[in-house]
Structure 1
Amino acid sequence: MHLNSRTLKAIAWSTLALSTANAQYIIDNLSFGQKAGEPISPNLRGIPHYSAKGLGWDIEILSDRAVLTPPWPGNKRGALWSEDPLHHAGDWNAELHFRAAGMDRGGGNLQLWYTKESQKNEPPASLYTAPKFDGLVLVVDQYEGRGGSVRGFLNGGDIDFKVHHDLDQLAFGQCNYAYRNLGRFSVLKMSQANGKFDVTVDGNPCFSTDKVRLPAGYHFGISASSAENPDSFEVQKFLVSTTNAHTREEPGSHQNQAAQNPNQQQQQQQQQQQGQTQQQNVQPPPRVHGNWLQRTQEQNKPLDPNIPQMVEDVFAANIKSQQDQFGDLHNRLQILNHKIDGLYDLLEKVIADNDQRFDQLMGRITPMHDQISATMRNVEKVERTTMETLRDLESKDFKDLLNSVHRSIERGQSAMSANIPAAISDIVDKGRPSMTSFFFVVVVVQVLVLCAYQLYKKRRNSAPKKYL
């Protein structure tokens, strides 16, 4: 069977369409932190393709995250603004990984901007201090004391948010989300696809509308502000992706594509139409490595060293011959299959690790559940005993007992009052001395004193006399 060049091209395009129908491509010059294990800044002084600016302090850029507002002191601001705009008018996604931490009553807000004019030369602003802008802003703050919320605002450049009398009523969508002190990074994602604009938080739907369609040519920005009791806002990564296969937007590339020869554009359109017509009659070839669930042994074979492991990005207009186009497409399809196989292996490993962790966690939870049950039973016993004692105290009357105790005390007091004087009188009568004994003692004392005096005089008279 002979296949001409057009048939081969149609087969290649069909295979590419089936393989990359749901693929997302990261736009490198609008993203940072997309490569795991690599620092977001090569010199820890700035993020490539982004302008960093702080108000009251300098933004701290670490190897894996950027600190927009410090944990202390408060009333600080910080912002990151993309140098280049988004040139894709079709479907795209913007994903922000952020974290907020602070004291119990800390405050502040975080904004994700998509505006026509970049504010990189302006002081970092929040929703309530921003000048007139044309675009969208998603605000994360503690609106109305709900513990956290995500709200979306649109402005056509004719509303001054700083002086608006009731700014909170302008939100076209909102949801509650407690974002503070989670200990992990939250994921705020906005996407435009299939005529709808969706906002999700940690993979959960926040709000959605089909009345918003954001144009191309706008800039992304991330800003944060802290209150007097501050919250520290940190940004780990910001990913902008699209279904377009261009993973990098070169400066001036869109102008160069628009300036192509009109005849060349017509030829390309005719070739695409012919390829689409032939796709209807050509069946796509079978996959080399089988489906996702049943993998063959071919995947475990060593890779051919002649097969390239990575292909640089080039413009389609730079590939002239059909043979080069087919070779480039073939190499990219092989690389895509290898990447999918690697992702499948990684997914299997993650699932196995999660199962092991789940088993370990369940093994720890079971003894804890038994201990908790025993503690609950002891608490129930104490409560039951307490209720029985309280019920006994409330049901019995202690009036008679108190009266009996009172009478006993009165009887004891009366007996003591009657017996104590008689006992003291008896003791005094029995223990006092008689008058005879008293007089005898007095006479004896006087006789002894007289004898002592006589003895003294006798010794004095018998002593020798001394004359002067």
Structure 2
Amino acid sequence: MVLSSSIGLVLAACSSLLALSQADTVVERTSFGNGQRISADMSTLPGWELFGEDFFPEIMSDRIILTPPYLGHKRGALWSTDAVSESEWTVDFEFRANGEDRSGGNIQLWYVKNGNHDVGVHDIYNAGRFDGLAITIDNSQGRGMIRGFLNDGTIEYRSHSNVDRLAFGHCEYAYRNLGRPSHITVKQSMFSFEVLVDGRSCFHTKTIRLPPGNVFGISASSSDNPDSFEVFKFVLSLPRPGSNGGSPQKQRPYQGQGQGQGHHQPPVPRSGNNHHQASPEALSEIQSQVKDIKTRLQTLNDATDRLLNELSSLSWKFDERNQEIVRTSAHRDQVSSLDQRIMRLERMVEHVQKDLASKDYQRHFTRLEEALLHSHSGLLENLQDSSHRILSSAPRMGFFIFLLVALQLSLAGTYVYYKKRRATMPKKFL
């Protein structure tokens, strides 16, 4: 418990320091779900356009339903109306998927040019010649997968024979029916591009750098079986110009202004002796030093990212261990209660054994046996006397049977005599 809390404090401190060093600014117009209601009127989303096919996305107080949990073959999408003007950015995206485990639905996070016109409500398998990035979350080969796709506008995905082979990065992720939103983070810095899932690195590369001027979008589609895709959060963050994350390439649109400010110096006397010009060797040395500093900063940044990922994984493991300990503590209480009961029974049995060993009960057993024998013999004698008494006092059955037979014979003789007498009587006629 203490170690897990310490790890959590260390993670919080590192995150705070990292946030302060990066000093990211949230683009409010392109963000929603960051602690506020998604929409004030529950019908429109500022900075976004909603599209649908056979179903129009529904805006709730805390989420947007792109595809409903009933019927299939539904499509929904939302596209940002503002293009991103910076080349370094971070996106925090939260969604939830409910449906059958092996359903064919999917959800995409797009960063493309003219996304509303080139992509619309299509998924990665039905898209045409888009120009930009697509992060696809779907089932591939019976497993949940998160994959990244790139296109420069020359590949038509809908007619490609094997779209899965075009992915430049992927990781497995069971995203369906979790009962909670899944958190996807996409980061592009001056030196790398990375995708994280629930705080863990999914895939990253140092060879990809997407240009500014693209727009973000989210699309979802369901197959024959219904799939419910819900979006809870989309937050776009940009580094401030004066932060560590900034770079000359990021400030390229303002290069002229930046150079003017960077080369501004106090006025110097106009004399030939005081006018100096830097030599090419000095400039080359300065450039090499700057390059070395950039390399060291990148190495430090990568090491910090790895440390944060390891600390996050360690904290997650300790939290799981803590929960397991909490679950087992209840069983331990039950076991301890059972042990106490067993100990009480053992003490009672020991007391009985000691009592039996200390006292002589043989005399009591002998008396009990004699009493039982005496009762048994008395009972037998009483039974014999009772049976003789019953037999001797009972009436004689032979005399009773003789009376019964004589009565029957007298009745029969009387009846026969009556029939003969009636037959011999004269008959009277009217």
Decide: shared fold, TM above 0.5: yes
1:373-410 CA distance string (max 9 Å, x none) = 689x9xxxxxxxxxxxxxxxxxxxxxxxxxxxxxxxxx
Deviation, structure 1 residue 454: 6.6
2:44 is aligned to 46
In the other structure, the counterpart of 1:94 is 91
Q: Is the 8 A contact 1:110 1:225 kept in 2?
A: yes
Shift of 1:124: 0.8
1:295 is aligned to none
Deviations 1:35-65 (A, max 9, x none): x1x2111211121110001111111101121
Alpha-carbon separation, structure 2, partners of 1:203 and 1:174: 16
User: What's the C-alpha RMSD, in Å, of the aligned pairs?
Assistant: 3.8
Instruction: Report the counterpart of residue 25 of structure 1 in structure 2.
Output: 25
How far off is 1:243 after superposition? 1.1
In the TM superposition, residue 229 of structure 1 has moved relative to its aligned partner by 2.1
Answer yes or no: is 1:209 the counterpart of 2:205. yes
Q: Does 1:236 align with 2:198?
A: no
- Structure 2 length as normaliser, TM-score? 0.58
Q: Is the aligned partner of 1:110 residue 2:79?
A: no
Q: Does residue 256 of structure 2 align to residue 269 of structure 1?
A: no
Secondary structure at the counterpart of residue 332 of structure 2 = helix
- Between the aligned partners of 1:121 and 1:193, the Cα distance in structure 2 is 26
Query: How many Å apart are 1:220 and its aligned residue?
Result: 0.7
* Whole-angstrom distance in 2 between the partners of 1:194 and 1:451: 139
- 2:58 counterpart letter in structure 1: E
* Match among 145, 148, 160 for residue 149 of structure 1: 145
Q: Are the equivalent residues in 1 in contact too, given 2:100–2:227 (CA < 8 A)?
A: yes
In 1, are the aligned partners of 2:89 and 2:238 still within 8 Å (CA)?
yes
C-alpha contact 2:113 2:132 (8 A) present in aligned 1:
yes
Aligned 8 A contact 2:131 2:153 in 1: yes
> Does the residue aligned with 2:141 lie in a helix, a strand or coil?
helix
- Unaligned ranges ≥5, structure 1: 1-17, 247-256, 277-356, 378-440
1:167 aligns with 2:163: yes
User: Tell me, what secondary structure is at the counterpart of 2:147?
Assistant: strand
Q: Which runs of 5+ in 2 are unaligned?
A: 1-17, 243-252, 267-318, 340-404
**Residue 85 in structure 1 maps to residue 83 in structure 2:** yes
Which residue of structure 2 lines up, in the alignment, with residue 57 of structure 1? 55
Identical columns (%): 42
Distance 1:461 1:28, change over 3 A: closer
Q: Structure 1 residues 166 and 45 mapped into 2: Cα distance closer, same or farther (>3 Å)?
A: same
8 A contact 2:57–2:76 mirrored in 1: yes
**Shift in alpha-carbon separation, 1:457–1:238, aligned structure 2, 3 A:** closer
Cα displacement string for residues 266-318 of structure 1 (whole angstroms, at most 9, x for unaligned residues):
7x634323479xxxxxxxxxxxxxxxxxxxxxxxxxxxxxxxxxxxxxxxxxx
Please state if 1:71 is matched with 2:69. Answer: yes
Deviation at 1:28, TM superposition (A): 2.2
Change (3 A) 1:240 1:454: closer
1:190 aligned residue (186, 189, 192): 186
Q: Distance in 2 between matches of 1:19 and 1:135?
A: 28
Q: Counterparts of 1:156 and 1:453 in 2: how far apart (Å)?
A: 134
Q: Which amino acid aligns with 2:137?
A: V
Q: Residue type of the partner of 2:29?
A: N
Is 2:137 the counterpart of 1:140? Answer: yes
**Partner in structure 1 of residue 327 of structure 2:** 365
User: What residue identity is the alignment partner of 1:181?
Assistant: N
How far off is 1:150 after superposition?
Answer: 0.5
- 2:379 is matched with none
Give the superposition deviation at 1:457.
Answer: 4.2
Q: Provide the secondary structure at the position in 1 that maps to 2:329.
A: helix
The answer to whether residue 191 in structure 2 is matched with residue 224 in structure 1 is: no
Task: Classify the secondary structure of the residue corresponding to 1:228.
Answer: coil
Query: How far apart are 1:231 and its partner, in Å?
Result: 2.2
Q: What is the CA–CA distance in structure 1 between the aligned matches of 2:33 and 2:415, rounded to whole Å?
A: 124
Separation in structure 1 between the aligned mates of residue 44 and residue 414 of structure 2, nearest angstrom = 125
Q: 1:453 to 1:187 in 2, by over 3 A?
A: closer
Name the CA distance, whole Å, in 1 between partners of 2:417 and 2:327.
111
TM-score by length of 1: 0.53
TM-aligned CA deviation for residue 187 of structure 1: 1.4
- Per-residue CA deviations over 1:6-38 (Å, capped at 9, x if unaligned) read xxxxxxxxxxxx99642111122322223x1x2
CA distance, structure 1, for counterparts of residue 89 and residue 193 of structure 2: 10
The alpha-carbon deviation at position 236 of structure 1 amounts to: 1.1
Deviation, 1:244, is 2.9
Distance 2:27 2:150 in 1: 24
**3-state DSSP class of the match of 1:153?**
strand
Q: CA deviation at 1:235?
A: 0.9
Distance 2:115 2:335 in 1: 60
**Matches of 2:425 and 2:20, distance apart in 1:** 153
Shift of 1:183: 1.8
SS of 1:168's partner is helix
Measured against aligned partners, the alpha-carbon deviations of 1:59-94 in whole angstroms (never above 9, x if no partner) come to: 1101121111111122211101011111113x2112
Give the 3 Å change call, closer, same or farther, for CA 77–371 of structure 1 in structure 2: farther
Q: Distance in 1 between matches of 2:162 and 2:231?
A: 30
1:180 deviation in Å?
Answer: 1.2
Q: Counterparts of 1:150 and 1:241 in 2: how far apart (Å)?
A: 22
